[in-house]
Structure 1
């Protein structure tokens, strides 16, 4: 929460109290989101069809194991439960923090291939691209009227991305990124968004936009739902260098890699000199990370895996993790090769998804225009 200069405390105690109050508010908000997320998980088990989810990725390269464990496997789970799922290829958002989109068509095909290979079913999940749905993007105009400059500038992601540019002037697209994300969620009237704890401020701004639109333009009638967060409990997966797994670092295990490429990459994985393998996330984070990856892929608990390896050292650990990853990804990689050999099918899947998304977006924009008195007949 940003404090204006006119309201700044005049002594250190007041400052500490203000900071504590802000922390307590954030903690309460998180606890509330956790409790609500638990209720939603219970509801998903009884009637998942009443939920509509919006989620997606920027097409900046092939997906890797961090994406799979962090989001993609959960999307397949929600789809299979019967949740109405909208999966966005956020091509416009690629240029929020860079000069050009790069080989965007190629990267979009790679992303689509990874989605389908991992189990996303285009008959049950609508896969679409930002740039192919004009009505979605047009919703940004009325939505921008509902937020202030200061609200946008204090958004954590906007602040972090701007700081990462090293002083480069912020683009208008980056500043309005949270509103674009609100348009993504609200154009299809999604009522559920899978997010990590660090993404809650984004979702909160979407809820603010929905509420203000309903109050300001619809006289209190619910045009847009207030979407809830489905919090992910997935851990952050480290790359082979012990840093966060990231395409830009070259430390990833890509879904598209061959088994030999996977083995070669894992041989580079950082461990330590202690031959006795134990699961100690604080004291031995790199070793714990490899054990966690194998555990998340169904090989057993991290503690049991560590006991199984025993005094096998880093070499034994890497061998086990390589086997687990390759075994788990083998059917995904086989399906991926089939999809790569049929580019016409991939193009058709995206075209059909774009068409479905346009139908939804056109209907929503028409409703917005009607609500705002902007229909001219």
Structure 2
């Protein structure tokens, strides 16, 4: 079992993960991916965290306020416990050799394979652009380059992202078959991450503006949760199928207080939506308080934050240059 292998020999694994800098990270990210990254880092797995700034352009005409957003993303990483002494945090656009891998990798997959990718189809359906750029179709292959440039062999994902890992495995396998063994075929580490709804009852999302960001103040958090959707039944229960909005709030309180959601719901009982929101607000604010303190401390020294990215970029560039040299040699292009 993969989890047992990681536990037995964490140093054998190298993880590539990251985010597009399209807005602040939120509680959905925290419980969905960020905590798992910190867990793997603390186990001794080598962690690479990419700030995928080029990929902002997959579904946007321009990348607005990018420097501010990138720095905010790094502040969120530091706040939740990503350790720059043990993890490499870097930006996509700063690693030319990584992006150069896109060209040979694109030759290894067909247009129909890219068009069938369910994540691409979903991104196209929700795109902010009037027409989709070619970059959107290369998105899965660009992610393959992200993973393979550092020879990542472990990718923590939810089930909806499995097709991306499969494209990466396909690219690695076809390259090795055509040119000789260079890349590992990375394994997907499935996350049992809870699905949290936003304050409007839809999936929590940066673009829907229905999320509680990690950088929100305690007062902002209280205001957002006060406006969260519930239902007309005063008795609070945990029933995700029939009461999704109420159950998502119960789950959030449970995650923040390390309790079972059924226990939280039973404690609130007939207190209704007001008691539920009060419980959630207290749990979230208490849980986020130390992270907010760390974020504020790092935010007071942005020169240090920029230095972290600079050092990460230098390390990522050195690795990408070596990998590209291997690729060129394997393809007979090292002239």
For the superposition of Structure 1 and Structure 2, which TM-score range results when normalised by the shorter chain? over 0.9
Number of corresponding residues: 335
- Determine if contact 2:233/2:272 at 8 Å carries over to the other structure: yes
Q: CA deviation at 1:166?
A: 8.2
- Determine if contact 1:237/1:244 at 8 Å carries over to the other structure: yes
Matched, 1:83 2:19: no
Q: Which residue of 121, 125, 142 corresponds with 1:159? A: 121
Between the aligned partners of 1:366 and 1:121, the Cα distance in structure 2 is 29
Q: Secondary structure at the match of 1:247?
A: coil
Q: Relative to structure 2, which stretch is displaced further, 326-335 or 271-280?
A: 271-280
CA deviation vs aligned residue, 1:309-328 (integer Å, no higher than 9, x gap)? 11111111111111111111
CA deviation vs aligned residue, 1:310-351 (integer Å, no higher than 9, x gap)? 111111111111111111100000011111110100010000
What corresponds to 1:267 in structure 2? 226
What corresponds to 2:277 in structure 1? 318
Matched, 1:258 2:217: yes
- Determine if contact 1:194/1:232 at 8 Å carries over to the other structure: yes
Q: CA deviation at 1:276?
A: 1.4
What corresponds to 1:16 in structure 2? none
Between the aligned partners of 2:169 and 2:257, the Cα distance in structure 1 is 36
CA deviation vs aligned residue, 1:18-41 (integer Å, no higher than 9, x gap)? xxxxxxxxxxxxxxxxxxxxx111
Gaps of 5+ in 2: none
- Determine if contact 2:99/2:145 at 8 Å carries over to the other structure: yes
Gaps of 5+ in 1: 1-38
Q: Which residue of 65, 71, 82 corresponds with 1:103? A: 65
What corresponds to 2:251 in structure 1? 292
Give 1 or 2 for the bigger CA radius of gyration: 1
Q: CA deviation at 1:198?
A: 1.0
Q: CA deviation at 1:301?
A: 0.6
What corresponds to 1:200 in structure 2? 162
What corresponds to 2:295 in structure 1? 336
Q: After the TM superposition, which segments of 4 or more aligned residues of structure 1 sit over 4 Å from their partners?
A: none
Q: CA deviation at 1:167?
A: 8.6
- TM-score, normalised to structure 1's length? 0.87
Between the aligned partners of 1:199 and 1:99, the Cα distance in structure 2 is 24
- Determine if contact 1:162/1:168 at 8 Å carries over to the other structure: no
What corresponds to 1:309 in structure 2? 268
Between the aligned partners of 1:133 and 1:167, the Cα distance in structure 2 is 27
